[in-house]
């Protein structure tokens, strides 16, 4: 039996993607030996050989191969997105094989689909934790930190800003969802709103920027982590893209048509920010919680580049799971591991403003 067939290991599916490859590299640097997997035989084999790791090749509809691969590990770190297209078969396979599921999604529909499987996951003794990357670990930790500072909070506003380059898969996921408008949490319910519904000046500390509402994962997860019933998430979008986003209110139907999606998806360049670009990257987060009596608290956070946060936050969580630090059922990162989870990452700082 080889080392990878013993207990205490994990599968990275979509390992040959931009983020999967980065996660693989960080994992190897930590001395981990994940089994790599994906549907592209040449790309997965090349990456595995480079890092002296085992690999399995299968697509997500090859149930027997998927089950066989999961039987060799304790959990999966799913890195193949857009997750609204890829999460379901992997989640179902994890429930079937009683293995823990993590992914790096930021899609509200995926979080909600996993949350709906809470009962099944508890029965199976399996943890379902989507969103172990930049979306949503730092913002989820900030949300719980704010809730701990103001337990009576009924309103939560979160914002983040980076400004760096984004990867192929992130662009593909944004493009796929662009025609679907925005979303906020209102009175506990996810509520559809127009794209770029609200704008607000956000004081990130070192810089102030105009933020715009987006249907970021926290609209789903922060409610599960904090039970605060009204949640809005803002980010900063360059003026040209903001104009396009606003136009999507009217052209959304067109952008969602298959021929146009197929055409636009093919225009997205592969890859993502280089090591040097990421090293210079920085992410700003800000959050505010308020209650009906006019009390409010504000906190900020600064982290390294979002892709490095994704790789490191995901691997910290993987390590906890492999160490047996697991809660079965659907979980959010900060609910399971507390608001200081993000402070375990090098280069992260948090300050309370008010
Ligand atoms: N949480 C976060 O903050 C965070 C950070 C980074 C990325 N992400 C998300 O992670 C996803 C990946 O991003 P990326 O830039 O790494 O993407 P990428 O470079 O395009 O790689 C995507 C990977 O997923 C695989 N894949 C895509 N669709 C698949 C399908 N239907 N079945 C099986 N495999 C499939 C691809 O396989 P092939 O090579 O065979 O096509 C490839 O291995 C995106 O959804 C992105 O939004 C989230």
Digit-coded pLDDT (tens) for 336-346: 999 999 999 99
Has this prediction a pTM greater than 0.75? yes
Task: Establish how many alpha carbons lie within 13 A of residue 192's alpha carbon, considering only the half-sphere containing its beta carbon.
Answer: 6
- Taking 50 as the threshold, does the pLDDT of residue 1 lie above it? no
Residues ≥6 apart with Cβ < 8 Å to 349? 301, 302
Q: Residue 73 has which token pair?
A: 């590990």
pLDDT at residue number 288: 98
CA distance 54 to 305: 29
Residue that wins the pLDDT comparison between 211 and 248: 211
Tell whether ligand 1 has an atom less than 6 A from the beta carbon of residue 20.
yes
Determine the Cα angle at 138 with ends 132 and 143, to 5°. Answer: 110
pLDDT at residue number 85: 96
Mean pLDDT of 278-305: 97
Per-chain mean pLDDT for the chain: 94
CA distance 70 to 326: 18
- Taking 50 as the threshold, does the pLDDT of residue 140 lie above it? yes
Tell whether ligand 1 has an atom less than 6 A from the beta carbon of residue 175.
no
CA distance 38 to 236: 33
Which residue, by CA, sits nearest to atom 29 of ligand 1?
Answer: 80
Q: How far is the CA of 86 from the centre of ligand 1 (A)?
A: 9
Tell whether ligand 1 has an atom less than 6 A from the beta carbon of residue 167.
yes
Report how far apart the first and last C-alpha atoms of the chain are (Å, whole number): 57
Q: What is the pLDDT of residues 42-79, one digit of tens each?
A: 999 999 999 999 999 999 999 999 999 999 999 999 99
Tell whether ligand 1 has an atom less than 6 A from the beta carbon of residue 273.
no
The CA distances from residue 102 to 89, 274, 333, 349, in Å, are: 13, 25, 10, 25
Mean pLDDT of 138-145: 98
Q: What is the pLDDT of residues 279-289, one digit of tens each?
A: 999 999 999 99
Atom of ligand 1 nearest to the CA of 309: 3
Tell whether ligand 1 has an atom less than 6 A from the beta carbon of residue 329.
no
pLDDT at residue number 7: 52
Mean pLDDT of 34-49: 98
Q: How far is the CA of 277 from the centre of ligand 1 (A)?
A: 20
Query: How is the beta sheet containing 55-57 ordered, strand by strand?
Result: 55-57, 35-38, 10-13, 75-78, 100-103, 127-129, 329-330
Tell whether ligand 1 has an atom less than 6 A from the beta carbon of residue 80.
yes
Q: How confident is the model at residue 309 (pLDDT cuts 50, 70, 90)?
A: very high
CA distance 177 to 174: 5
- Taking 90 as the threshold, does the pLDDT of residue 243 lie above it? no
Which of 14-23, 189-198, 234-243, 283-292 is the least confident region? 234-243
Quick count: other Cβ atoms within 10 Å of Cβ 67? 14
Q: How far is the CA of 19 from the centre of ligand 1 (A)?
A: 7
Residue that wins the pLDDT comparison between 267 and 73: 73
pLDDT at residue number 251: 76
Helix axes 108-115, 218-226, angle to 10 degrees: 40
Tell whether ligand 1 has an atom less than 6 A from the beta carbon of residue 306.
yes
Q: What is the pLDDT of residues 160-189, one digit of tens each?
A: 999 888 889 888 888 888 778 899 999 999
């Amino acid at each position: 039996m080889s080392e990878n067939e013993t207990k205490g290991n994990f599968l990275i599916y979509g390992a040959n993607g931009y983020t999967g490859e980065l996660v693989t590299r960080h994992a190897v640097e930590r001395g981990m030996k994940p089994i790599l997997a994906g549907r592209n035989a040449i790309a997965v084999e090349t990456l595995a050989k480079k890092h002296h790791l085992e690999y399995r090749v299968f697509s997500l509809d090859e149930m027997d191969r998927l089950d066989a691969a999961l039987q060799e590990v304790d959990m999966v770190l799913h890195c193949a997105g857009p997750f609204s297209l890829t999460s379901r078969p992997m989640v179902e396979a994890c429930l079937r094989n009683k293995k823990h599921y993590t992914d790096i999604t930021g899609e509200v529909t995926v979080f909600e689909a996993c949350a709906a499987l809470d009962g099944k996951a508890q029965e199976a003794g399996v943890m379902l934790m989507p969103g172990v990357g930049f979306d949503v670990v730092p913002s989820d930790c900030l949300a719980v930190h704010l809730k701990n500072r103001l337990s009576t909070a009924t309103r939560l506003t979160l914002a983040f800003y980076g400004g760096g380059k984004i990867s192929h898969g992130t662009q593909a996921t944004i493009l796929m969802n662009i025609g679907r408008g925005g979303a906020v949490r209102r009175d506990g319910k996810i509520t559809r709103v127009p794209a770029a519904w609200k704008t607000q000046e956000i004081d990130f500390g070192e810089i102030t920027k105009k933020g715009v509402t987006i249907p970021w994962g926290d609209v789903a997860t922060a409610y599960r982590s904090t039970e605060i019933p009204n949640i809005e998430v803002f980010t900063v979008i360059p003026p040209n893209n903001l104009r396009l986003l606003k136009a999507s209110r009217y052209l959304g139907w067109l952008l969602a048509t298959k021929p146009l999606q197929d055409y636009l998806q093919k225009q997205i360049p592969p890859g993502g920010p280089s090591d040097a670009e990421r090293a210079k990257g920085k992410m700003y987060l800000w959050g505010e919680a308020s209650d009906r009596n006019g009390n409010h608290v504000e906190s900020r956070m600064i982290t390294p580049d979002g892709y490095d946060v994704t790789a490191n936050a995901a691997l910290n969580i993987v390590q906890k799971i492999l160490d047996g630090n697991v809660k079965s059922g659907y979980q959010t990162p900060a609910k399971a591991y507390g608001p200081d989870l993000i402070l375990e990452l090098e280069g992260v700082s948090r300050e309370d403003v008010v």
